[in-house]
Amino acid sequence: MADWKSAVAKLAHRVESRLDQQRERLGMTGSDGRSARIEAYRTYGCADRGWVRGRVLRSPPVASGAQGDSPWLNLAAMIQRFESDEVPGARVLVHFPGGRHEVTADEEGYFECWIEPRPTFSTSALWHEVVVELVHPREGDEPHRQVATLLVPPPESAFGVISDLDDTVIRTDVTSTLRMMKNVFLNNAHTRMPFPGVGAFYRALQKGTGASPFNPVFYVSSSPWNLHDVLTEFLSVQKIPLGPLLLRDWGLTSSGVVPAGNAEHKLEAIRRILGLFPALPFLLIGDSGQEDPEIYHQVVRENPDRIRAVYIRNVTPRPERLDAIRKLAAEVEAAGSALVIADDTLAAARHAAERGWIAPDALAEIGDVAHAEAPAPEAGTKAVNKELSVEEP
């Protein structure tokens, strides 16, 4: 299967390269002569260090969706996102407190860098802004600046949350290519559906208990960076806590689609978060559809004292898959953590309440919201509500 995917990717890359050459031959600057612009992504940092990432494009921003938009309009918007006209080799200047740093975009127009603000970011504010300025190319372009936002968790945070998005927060059906394409391409931020109760559960986790004023939520997903705007809008529309989005480059190169693996991307992103906040424990939330149990198992092995629990949403109730996760769960328990797999949000919330990570009175809201948001069951089907829980010793 991988061979045909690689062949298609290489062919698509050749077509894309020929189109770029044709634009240059005809004297076309990017997309109908449009000026280059910066698309800044929502990232994170600590008081004395921050990570900035973005992309330089010539295609215009995609307009926000609406509840009444037709599937065809949503499809057109998605095509626009994936037909982005990147500016390879663009130079961007990042302005931050006490300094500035110039960075060069790669072949797909992406740039990233670490900054060290002086004075340091104040821990009394959650979100901090830095200015990113396009310095090249500028011939024929209008001056362009953009604001990048970074989340800086307060030192009082009791724990952090690292969560997947597809089939963990958002109904995507990644195990079915046809249903996944329908969900992603024919819907928008207003019409895509979260799993029942997710918003209330994540708000309870962010609020925590006791004196903790704010627990940060990081979203590590294999969705492409092209969807950053619609995913951010989805979180806002559904009142799910905003947090840094760590997505993946699905750009086309002569060697195929990059990057190659879902696990490598997620592990690298999680390791980077844990490395920047060495004193902060974490909860990991994912689903059984792809590799989340295996990825999180690896994270627990590498950080046995950092991971309080792993929550896995059961979206593939196959006996052989559950057996495989049970084996991982036993190893997670042996490492001093816990793995819970459940068919609904409330099961994970109950476990979190028992451990004192969310307030007990939050369970009523999560249950009420989950019941209100739950879709009507199809005729002839039975609701399945099984829970596998391996407790902490």
Could you tell me if 85 and 189 lie in one domain? no
339 neighbors 187 (Cβ within 8 angstroms):
no
| Total tally of structural domains belonging to the chain | 2
Residue that has been written with the tokens 């998005």 in this structure: 165
Could you tell me if 129 and 223 lie in one domain? no
Among residues 251, 268, 228, 218, the alpha carbon closest in space to that of 105 is found at: 251
- Which residue, 87, 116, 151, sits at the end of a domain? 151
Residue 21 lies in a domain: no
Residue 63 lies in a domain: yes
pLDDT tens figures, 70-97: 999 999 999 999 888 999 999 999 999 9
- Which residue, 110, 131, 151, sits at the end of a domain? 151
- Which residue, 151, 178, 210, sits at the end of a domain? 151
Could you tell me if 206 and 336 lie in one domain? yes
Could you tell me if 117 and 61 lie in one domain? yes
Residue 194 lies in a domain: yes
Could you tell me if 195 and 76 lie in one domain? no
d(CA 222, CA 72): 25
DSSP code of residue 200? H
Give pLDDT, residue 52: 98
CATH number of residue 70's parent domain: 2.60.40.10
3-state secondary structure of 77: helix
- C-beta neighbour count of 139 within 10 angstroms: 6
3-state secondary structure of 38: strand
Give pLDDT, residue 139: 61
Average pLDDT taken over every residue of the chain: 85
Could you tell me if 128 and 192 lie in one domain? no
- Domain range for 240 is 160-390
Helices (H), 303-378: 319-334, 345-354, 362-373
Averaged over successive runs of 10 residues, the pLDDT of the chain (393 residues) comes to 43 50 44 78 97 94 92 91 91 96 96 96 94 84 86 95 96 82 91 94 94 90 94 96 93 50 91 97 95 96 95 90 93 94 92 95 90 61 36 36
181 neighbors 169 (Cβ within 8 angstroms):
no
> How many angstroms separate the Cα of 124 from the Cα of each of 44, 119, 153, 241?
15, 14, 9, 18
Could you tell me if 107 and 202 lie in one domain? no
Could you tell me if 143 and 167 lie in one domain? no
pLDDT tens figures, 358-385: 999 999 999 888 888 877 554 333 333 3
322 neighbors 388 (Cβ within 8 angstroms):
yes
Residue 25 lies in a domain: no
Number of H helices, E strands in the chain: 10, 17
